[in-house]
Structures are given as structure tokens and as C-alpha cells.
Amino acid sequence: MTQSPLFLTPVFQERIWGGTSLRDKFNYEIPSDLTGECWAISAHPNGQSTIASGEHAGKTLGQLWDENREIFGGAEGTKFPLLTKILDANNDLSVQVHPNDDYAHANENGELGKTECWYIIDCKEGTDMIYGHTASSKEELVRMVENEEWDSLLRRVKIKPGDFFYVPSGTIHALCEGTLVLETQQSSDTTYRVYDYDRTDDRGEKRELHLEKAIEVSTVPHVDSLAEQKIEELDGVTITTFVKEQYFTVYKWDILGKASFTQKHPFQICSVIDGEGILHHGEESYPLPKGTHFVLPAGMEAFVVEGDCKLIVSHV
Ligand code: ZN
């Protein structure tokens, strides 16, 4: 049976490090000037996207996963596996690390682990990212954390728009001030905070750290997981494969003109991060302005994307 694409309404999350880029650059209606996260394609209970139109309008993505698994090609698992966010780091995020599946399952009420990856949509010139650390053993990591040797412990990497980073669970990392990122991750919300720059809130309180768990789950020594990118030039589209790993495969589709696709996966999730296009499917045409997020279900069969736009596309 032919199935139609599913367009999603995102959920916004306020964060102390957030800003207004999600309104300024994506035209979203955001709840405040401290909006940090757009949960664009999410079935996580902490913020679910809803279906914006069509026969399933108003249902959450999680509900659809539970009740209409045929849309997702009968994919397995009790939870929708992926979560796509756009993050506006107007200020530095805390230095953090996420657990893997086994650790999260045992210690965080059956949560999934969190392997994530980032496509840098925009950043200020000369912006850094924290990616990994310099400790060569757990003992050294503990000692450097205890002695607060943050400058020598944390590895800083220069970033620029268009860069891509794969961040497997166990990687110590942080986005820094002035970064706008599209994140594809496992559907999980478990973060262990390692260091928060000794910041305090308006009541003079520091945010909680989770040092013991963070040290337990951190990969030591750090492993650089920067995969080689594969680029394919096709009619109307350049496809860049950023990562093809256990939990997800992530591509960028640079559309210029008219590109024809056939659905080869149980489902794909897509985000328009720049420009504008049209999705043609059967008799229907759907506008794809920047900031549109949608699911291409199993039964899409053939479809065409036309325009001048960039999409980040993922599947399991
Ligand atoms: Zn993270």
C-alpha cells in the first residue's frame, strides 16, 4: 500500500544556555529568548512531535510507532529509535558524557543509551567544540577531574559550518557558545554532567554534576570517531554519507533541480536545514520550506524532491 509522508510539529525546550536562533534562523515560534532545543522528530516521552496533517494528524510519533508499525516497515523495538533535534547553543553547554545501552538500561529505568552526531548548521567564526579528553587511564581521568585540570584534560576542536561529528556514547563532549547544530541521536535523554564551568543560577546554585557515573561510562583513552565521508553525485542531488554505524546512518542531500528517489529503507527521517523545495509523491506535492521535518514511511515507493535545498536524512 502506498503511504504518504508524515510532517511533524516540533516541541521546544527552554535551556539556560539557549537563545533566539531557532526563531531568527528557522522562523519557529519559540517559547522564550532562552530556547535551546527544537525536538523536531521525537517520540521520547520528554517531548514528542505530533503529526501535523493527513489522516494521522494530532497523533504523537510514539503513538504511531505503537499503533501503526506498518508505516515504519514493521521495524522492531519497543521505542522509536531515533531523535532529531536542532540545538541553539547561545552559551556553552556543560561538559558531558552519555551512557551506552547496557549501562542506561541497568541504571536509568530502561532508557536507551545515547550515541549522537552533529551537523554544524552555523557557528561563530573561531568557535570550538569539546570533543574527547587527554587522559590515558581511568586513574588519570579521576585525578585530573579531582584536580580540576580542565584546560589540559578537555580536547578542543575548531569547528565551521558544514562540519560533522560522530559522538558515540562514552565520548566526553560539549557544544560551545555560538553553535547551531542538527543532532541525530538515539532516543534517550540521559546526560551525565562532568563540568559546568562553575556557573551558578540566579539563586547562586550550581547545577548538579554526575561525576561518578560520568567517569564510569567514559571511554578512556578517547577514541576519535571521525569517519570518512562518501560523496555521490546523482541527477539533481549530491548525497554525502556522514556516518553509517550501529544506531543510524546519516546523509546530507544537497538538492539542486529535480532528484528522484525510491524508498529502500523501512523508514527515513528528514529535516530541511537550508533553502526551499517541493516533495512530489504520486499526485501530491508538499512544500518543503527550511525547518520542515518529516518521515518517509516504508510504503513511499518512488518520490521526487525538487528545489534548491539541503536536507539531513537518517535511517536506522
Ligand atoms: Zn550530548
Residue-level pLDDT, tens digit, the chain, 316 residues: 679 999 999 999 999 899 999 999 999 999 999 999 999 999 999 999 999 999 999 999 999 999 999 999 988 899 999 999 999 999 999 999 999 999 999 999 889 999 999 999 999 999 999 999 999 999 999 999 999 999 999 999 999 999 999 999 999 999 999 999 999 999 999 999 999 998 888 888 998 999 999 999 999 999 988 778 999 999 999 999 999 999 999 999 999 999 999 999 999 999 999 999 999 999 999 999 999 999 999 999 999 999 999 999 999 9
Q: How many CB atoms lie within 10 A of CB 55?
A: 9
| Ligand 1 midpoint to CA 172 (Å) | 8
- Cell reading at 38: 527544537
Whether omega before 221 lies within 30 degrees of 0, making that bond cis, reads yes
d(CA 130, CA 177): 11
User: Are residues 105 and 155 in contact, defined by beta-carbon separation less than 8 angstroms?
Assistant: no
Give the global pTM. Answer: 0.95
d(CA 186, CA 233): 29
Q: How many CB atoms lie within 10 A of CB 75?
A: 17
d(CA 139, CA 252): 40
| Ligand 1 midpoint to CA 65 (Å) | 25
Q: How many CB atoms lie within 10 A of CB 306?
A: 18
User: Are residues 75 and 316 in contact, defined by beta-carbon separation less than 8 angstroms?
Assistant: yes
Q: How far is CA 273 from the centre of its chain?
A: 13
| Ligand 1 midpoint to CA 237 (Å) | 30
What are the helix (H) ranges across 128-273?
138-146, 150-153, 211-217
| Residue 60 Cα distances to 11, 163, 247, angstroms | 11, 32, 22
| Ligand 1 midpoint to CA 95 (Å) | 9
| Ligand 1 midpoint to CA 193 (Å) | 10
Q: How many residues does the chain have?
A: 316
Q: Which residues are catalytic?
A: 193
What SS3 state is found at 52?
coil
- DSSP β-ladder status, 284-289 and 268-281: antiparallel
| CA nearest neighbour of 62 among 301, 295, 316, 313 | 295
- DSSP β-ladder status, 6-9 and 154-158: unpaired
Place of cell 506535492: 285
Residues 6+ apart with CB under 8 A from 216: 103
- Cell reading at 47: 517531548
| Ligand 1 midpoint to CA 175 (Å) | 8
d(CA 5, CA 53): 10
Place of cell 514493521: 74
Q: What is the pLDDT of residue 178?
A: 96
